[in-house]
Structure 1
Amino acid sequence: LLTITSRSAIISRSVEVVVGLIGNGFIATINIINWIKSKKISSADMILIFLSTSRFILQVTVLMHIHSLYFVDVFKLASVYKDFGAVWMFVNHSSLWFSTWLYILYCVKIINITHWLLLQIKRRIAGMVPWLLLGSPVISSVTSLPLLWITPSTYLCSSTGNCRENSTAHITDWDSSYLYLLLLYFVGCFFPLVLSVVTSALLITSLWKHRKTMQCYPETFRDSMIDVHLTAIKSIISFLILYLSSFVAQILLILSTSQSKDVVKVAVSLVVAGAYPSMHSIILIIVNSKLKLAFRNLCLHFKCHLEDKPPSPRLERNTLQ
């Protein structure tokens, strides 16, 4: 039963990785192509490029970890495994900051602001975005690079240097390395988590109030606007659910010091923790009109190619726009 559970978790996680690679790779590619074509880029698209690229790298590190579970010799040395842990932490925290800046940007642009300080931020947010994006990796390095100084024999790997040997070992005692790991992860996630929750709550409140004001508009226009607002609210709520569940699941993974006894909890936490960077990319494609149109046209292009039919001129004009 434990073997089946572990294999099911690995398969589910592998599917999430593939979805994340495709989704985030698509977002980064479309925005970069549009940037090259138009020779200009909006603040939101710039954040999307950084966010999707960081998540693509994050999925690659997870894929390499899954690979190491079956091919032990590739990651036999504990120090190498530890380095990948530090890389994962760095990219994960960076992507959390990028997603936070995206929702802060949406919040500043959408909600009605009256305070003078917030008005100044709203006017200068476009110029602040590049600095925020460059500063995020610097902040993330503070909460990830210290992992390199954790003793390999007590962090994720056995004292022999073989990371897989520890997968069935009974770890019953807490030591400083686990507390250190938990502290770094919590500190790295806490501030972007709080900012994301606050800005998302403000966005939902503002959109809900604006939805009520739509009642006085003509019926045709009102219905379409209400649908747009409801879609935005649903996407933000989905983002919050995925974000919070991923945060809790990752904490549970670190707290699970006895893998053989808690294999079901570890398996479930592993799948839940990996759902956020993969599923959120799908949500971004669905709610972003340019990405949604590009994805639809790409699917039609492949369909026409498989059926040996030339794509219509309209399809050619709209693809990747």
Structure 2
Amino acid sequence: MCEICSSPEEKPSMFVIIISFTISGTECIIGITGNGFIMAINGTEWVQNRKFSTSGRILFFLSLSRIALQTRMMIENFASLIFLSFYKEDTIYELFRVIFMFLTFCSLWFATWLSIFYFVKIANFNNPLFLKLKWRITRLMPWLLLSSVIISFCNSVLFSLHVYNASCSDLILNPFSNSTKKKYNINTNMINLVVIYNVGMFIPLIMFILAALSLIISLKRHTLQMEINTIGSRNPSMEAHMGAIKAISSFLILYIFNFVALLLFMSNIFDENSFWNISCKIIMAAYPSGHSILLILGNPKLRNAWGTFQHQMKFCLKGRTS
């Protein structure tokens, strides 16, 4: 007697299901709400003005990629906890991974271009190359965003070709009755995973860090110039520098945690429903949610719009209860 292929892991306990759904589900809902708000504000601006500002365009596509990413997280979390055998099927499993990495790469690239755009617009350098970039960044940005999507797609496809290999193995249940059960196994090529993962993640990350360091250098030069000219310690340029540096630093901290959790999750070194694997899912869900909140709090236009939205919601709720 031989059974069809099934997942090697046992069904998760009710405690694991509740914890995973409650924490990561709440994080995903917060992230989808925050990114949906950012996308709605910038989309409304595009409809009203018939054009996108450069920062608005980047924020729109960054939010769109993260809404898709966290929606996919919720679907995969549900499938891995409730329909584990279906989730572990070869085609389904690879499809989840490819989509996941594509959206992750896109999200990182868009966040990198946002940081570079802030750096180019805020920093003050007399280098001819920098001045040329400052002048052309608005026209270049649509092509940079499009090229990021193409690069992200190519990198993500490599995961389905060279990283995961599904196989079925026979497990003898009873040697006397000759009964066996097919067990489904996911084999991960760790060398290919690390190479493809790092190529896809490190290039935008290095660009992101270079933009952050250059912005800090620009702030230091601006501060020294203010001291020489005996100008007050706070001015609009200083405020812009500090705001951008805080935003970039906060994103970098979130990204480092996400980078480690994502690599561990993709390597399959933990059981599907183990504490460590669930922890990785929680950290990965927190990253886009936390960054969307930081973007709203750090952007005056978004912060004011969020305050107006909250005020209108309170007014509507009071009207219904009265």
Which of 242, 261, 268 is matched with 2:279 structurally?
268
> How many Å separate the matches in 2 of 1:235 and 1:203?
12
Asked if the contact 1:170/1:259 (under 8 Å) is kept, the reply is: no
> How many Å separate the matches in 1 of 2:223 and 2:26?
37
2:32 maps to 1:21:
yes
Distance 1:127 1:6, change over 3 A: same
* 1:245 partner letter: F
Distance 1:120 1:300, change over 3 A: same
Q: Where in structure 2 are the equivalents of 1:84-163 lying within 5 Å?
A: 84-149=96-161, 154=166, 159=168
Corresponding residue for 1:164? none
Asked if the contact 1:19/1:278 (under 8 Å) is kept, the reply is: yes
Q: Shift of residue 234 of structure 1?
A: 2.5
Q: Where in structure 2 are the equivalents of 1:154-173 lying within 5 Å?
A: 154=166, 159=168
Distance 1:211 1:56, change over 3 A: farther
* Structure 2: gaps spanning 5 or more residues: 1-11, 170-182
* 1:198 partner letter: L
After TM superposition, the structure 1 stretch with the greater mean CA deviation from structure 2, 6-15 or 195-204, is 6-15
Q: Shift of residue 113 of structure 1?
A: 1.8
Which of 95, 100, 109 is matched with 1:83 structurally?
95
> How many Å separate the matches in 2 of 1:112 and 1:231?
15
Asked if the contact 1:204/1:236 (under 8 Å) is kept, the reply is: no
2:193 maps to 1:184:
no
2:77 maps to 1:66:
yes
Corresponding residue for 1:30? 41
Q: What percentage of aligned pairs have identical amino acids?
A: 34
> How many Å separate the matches in 1 of 2:109 and 2:165?
31
Q: Secondary structure at the match of 1:112?
A: coil
* 2:161 partner letter: W
Corresponding residue for 1:54? 65
- Spell out, residue by residue over 1:224-258, the C-alpha distance to the aligned partner (whole angstroms, 9 max, x if none): 87666544432221111011221122123234524
Corresponding residue for 1:289? 300
Asked if the contact 1:153/1:159 (under 8 Å) is kept, the reply is: no
Q: Shift of residue 108 of structure 1?
A: 1.0
Distance 1:212 1:256, change over 3 A: farther
- Aligned Cα RMSD in Å? 3.0
Q: Shift of residue 153 of structure 1?
A: 5.1
> How many Å separate the matches in 2 of 1:82 and 1:114?
48
> How many Å separate the matches in 2 of 1:115 and 1:224?
22
Between Structure 1 and Structure 2, whose CA radius of gyration is higher? 2
Asked if the contact 1:12/1:271 (under 8 Å) is kept, the reply is: yes
After TM superposition, the structure 1 stretch with the greater mean CA deviation from structure 2, 88-97 or 234-243, is 234-243
Asked if the contact 1:86/1:145 (under 8 Å) is kept, the reply is: yes
Corresponding residue for 1:259? 271
Q: How many aligned positions are there?
A: 292
Distance 1:60 1:113, change over 3 A: same
Q: By percentage of residues, which structure has more strand?
A: 2
Corresponding residue for 2:3? none
User: Normalised by the size of structure 2, how large is the TM-score?
Assistant: 0.80
Asked if the contact 1:47/1:101 (under 8 Å) is kept, the reply is: yes
Distance 1:225 1:47, change over 3 A: closer
Corresponding residue for 1:303? 314
* 2:35 partner letter: N
